[in-house]
Structure 1
């Protein structure tokens, strides 16, 4: 059986519920507001990978600005 992840974005908080059998999950009553999304485990891993890439890119930008700042400070002294 394929593992499936359900993400609930109700009340601004992400809740993850991993279930390996879809027949035990009542999707109509699980989230009455309709804010739950059915994702495969591959999609969940891809989303995590994309978030990690964003963090990596932000760290690169911070590193470049830090190098520029320290270079500017060392030249002025």
Structure 2
């Protein structure tokens, strides 16, 4: 029998802050945290193409993110 079902892997993937909580899913939030992106201002230094390369980002997530950035008067940088 297994000693414990609490995997070390899941403990390592807990997002520490609440940046974009409720806006985008956990895989995308973890990818941003991995890249040290913890604010919309930092995110605006990236192009859409760069962000789409991160794990967890697809068309739906990008649309949500762009809408949220627009509501906060920010946009992605040009290529």
Which protein shows a greater Rg? Answer: 1
TM-score, L = length of structure 2:
0.24
The structure that is strand-richer by fraction is 1
Higher RCO (CA-CA < 8 Å; seq separation 6+): 2
